[in-house]
Amino acid sequence: MATRLWVLYEPLLILVPSDSKLSSIATVFPAFLTYCSTEEVLNQDPWTEPDTSVACMPMGPDQARAAKALQQSCHSEAVGGREVRGYAKWISSGSLTAVTPLLIKECGTHTGSRVWEGALVQLQWAFQNLDIFADRSVLELGAGCGLLGLAIAKSAGPREIVMSEFQGHFVDDSAPSLLDLLLENMHANLGSIDGGALSVWDLDWTKPQEATCRWPFQEELQEGQCKKRERADGTKPTTSAKKFDVIIGSELIYSIEGAAQLLGVLSSFLEEDGACYLLNNIRRSGVSELISGCADVQLVCEQISFDKPSADSIMCTLGDNELSNVFILLKITRSKHGALPFRIPPFVESGFAVTSEYDAWVTSFGLVELNARLRREADSGMVAVARAVAAEKKEQPPLPPLP
């Protein structure tokens, strides 16, 4: 017998847990619901509580077949012969009573084809700061499934919003790519969004000036695949001269190489008086290199505060519902004084630091995360950390104080 029950939410043709209790709770999110295909979810034993799933118990072939047959039987009974989209994964409070919630498809094909915790954290922050995006041009990097960009397009009233992804994540051209999934989700939600303000780019971070617009300059989706379309003169729509007031991205940094590429993208597309907001797992490789590398390309980086979503505002139906990772939210702008030379602070020699002076030094050189890491590792005070930072940069001689 099934130990977990799902019911068909008919307005969206999506199965949701029978114990979903979020619909009456005041929301700090735009209403949205993500889902995975029936085929994918049935392999995860959705009708069985996680601690009693087939995946958690040793079984013989006959038992395994019987368990899988139970999943299929429960599913068939719930849908009653109707074609359904699949099973809900993330459900925000209010989404099951909203007239037009955002509907986002996820799949397990690629890392970026999932909605990760960082996107939810940044989505709540964006929803609490809609004025940042209102009547401005916005570029989302690494849009993935499109949840963050589509929510901003729907809720914030941007003058223009471009969601970007990279078609080249897949070598096999016969399989749907991450860009295809982004386009599919965009088309599924166009009825509730001002499509005139929305575009989708194919953006390779190693060649940012060669980015191409894939929608609206594309043919309609054909069997889940987006088709490139050239203009009448045989050229592809170009994006090389474009600058944006706001750039956003979540969970983009996983390596030192990626951090360097991202700095190049920001240098290419950020307006002179624009701002970039990046949220990332603080423990990922490349985060400290991104922060310290900003000064080299005449960018200034500062850490800003944010609230994490509460458990009663969002529900994960498939997997762990705890939002437990540690994130950092960075605001990056162009330096008004050109590149900032690294300066070893005078209190390294004196052995005494005033907190305000120390904090200004850390922020000026984009050392916020590096400072946090060194203080964690050494469990030391400000001067000791500053000495460690200076030692890491000992190849650079001390320079005159900043003006």
Q: ∠ at Cα 387 (382, 388), nearest 5°? A: 100
CB distance 335 to 295 below 8 Å: yes
Tell me how far CA of residue 148 lies from CA of 125, 151, 157, 289, in angstroms: 11, 5, 14, 25
pLDDT digits (tens, 9 = 90+) for 327-374: 999 999 998 765 555 555 665 556 555 565 666 656 555 566 666 666
Q: What pLDDT, on a 0 to 100 scale, did the predictor assign at position 225?
A: 46
How far CA 225 is from CA of 176, 214, 222, 250, in Å, comes to: 6, 12, 5, 25
CA–CA separation, 105 vs 115, rounded Å? 9
pLDDT of the residue at 60: 75
Peptide bond preceding 216 in cis form (omega within 30 of 0): yes
How is the chain split among helix, strand and coil, in percent rounded to 5? 35, 20, 45
Asked if 334 and 268 touch (Cβ cutoff 8 Å), the reply is no
Can you give the pLDDT at residue 221? 38
Instruction: Show the low-confidence residues of the chain (pLDDT under 70).
Output: 1-2, 21-28, 50-59, 168-175, 195, 217-241, 320-322, 337-403
Q: What is the pTM of this model?
A: 0.77
* pLDDT attached to residue 21: 64
DSSP helix/strand/coil, 182: helix
pLDDT at 34: 95
- Domain boundaries of the chain, sorted by first residue: 1-105, 109-340, 347-392
> Could you give the maximum distance between any two Cα atoms of the chain, in Å?
77
How would you label 132-147 residue by residue, b for 16+ Cβ within 10 Å and e otherwise?
Answer: bbeebbbbbbbbbbbb
Amino acid identity for residue 323 in this structure: L
Look up the CATH superfamily of 109-340.
Answer: Vaccinia Virus protein VP39 (3.40.50.150)
Phi-psi region of 286 (alpha: psi -120 to 50; beta: other; left: phi over 0): left
User: Which pLDDT does position 15 carry in this prediction?
Assistant: 94
Residues 248 and 277: beta-carbon distance below 8 Å: yes
Closest CA to 205 of 259, 262, 248: 262
